[in-house]
Amino acid sequence: MTKILPIGVLLGVTAVWWLAASGSTIFPTPPEVLRGIAGLATDGTLLRHVAASLYRVTFGYGVAMLLALPLGILMGWYRTAFTAFNPLVQMLRPISPIAWIPLAILWFGVSDLSPMFLVFLASFFPMVLATTSGVQLVEREYLWAAQNFGITGFKLFTHVIIPGALPTIITGMRVGLGVAWLVVVAAEMVAINSGLGFLIIDSRNAGMRYDLVVAGMVMIGAIGLLLDLVMRRLEDLKEVRWRYARGR
């Protein structure tokens, strides 16, 4: 049932798309898109573009995680750190990463670093926010118990604060990866000449190949789904199951 239902919905939407697009000149049909994907796959372009996008996301997101988690933990635990950094974070957060594109190109040129920087910006803030509130929401009862048993210093963080905040942190990591994937495509449309975003814009510019435009979109969606499935596996860890008591 849990497998049939989503597959059924996907097939249904594809059928509606097919019906609506047949005979239309402004919307490619599913078979045309499939042929497009097959064509890109056989000559190796697809793999090259997918690898380029994933590579940029991995680095941008990885660096964002390395910085966001410690900062979030500090801001969540130490009042002074929160007071000091929260206004800055709240001010930078609403600036869309897209708005940074001109500066990114100015600073990093047309290189992998530009999209990486934008991916970093996009995923950093959701992860800081989630980590901060995760730490702030660790229940008093657990902190009291920790103090009671003499758990202090580094051990307090590794054994109580971080595990207590982990479910929220993981949610933040999921959101962060989602927007990272969103932003890498946008960045590749303007700031570089490879990747799925470039594939889409290039297919249009080079020959009005809208079948390939949609093929690129479908690939982005499919990879996004895979990434989220991987992240959701984290929520199945025994260490965090307590937070999702209702199960799935």
Which parts of this chain interact with another protein (CB under 8 A)?
141-142, 144-145, 147-151, 159-160, 163-164, 166, 238-242, 245
Q: How far is the CB of 175 from another protein (least distance, A)?
A: 21
Q: How far is the CB of 164 from another protein (least distance, A)?
A: 7
Minimum distance, C-beta of residue 126 to another protein, in the bound complex (Å): 23
Nearer to another protein, 93 or 159 (CB): 159
Environment class of 236 (CB within 10 Å of its CB; exposed 0-12, middle 13-18, buried 19+): exposed
Q: For residues 41 and 156, which CB has a smaller minimum distance to another protein in the complex?
A: 156
In the complex, minimum distance from the CB of residue 166 to another protein, in angstroms, rounded to a whole number: 7
C-alpha 107/C-alpha 100 separation (Å) is 10
- The smaller minimum CB distance to another protein, of residues 43 and 141, is found at 141
Say which residue the tokens 């005979």 belong to.
23
Which is nearest to 127 in space by CA: 89, 95, 164, 100?
A: 89
Q: Give the total residue count for the chain.
A: 248
36 vs 167, which CB is nearer to another protein?
Answer: 167
| Closest to another protein by CB, 206 or 245 | 245
* Nearest alpha-carbon partner for 161 in 65, 69, 244: 69
Paired tokens of 218: 């479908």
| Nearest distance from C-beta of residue 146 to another protein, angstroms | 8
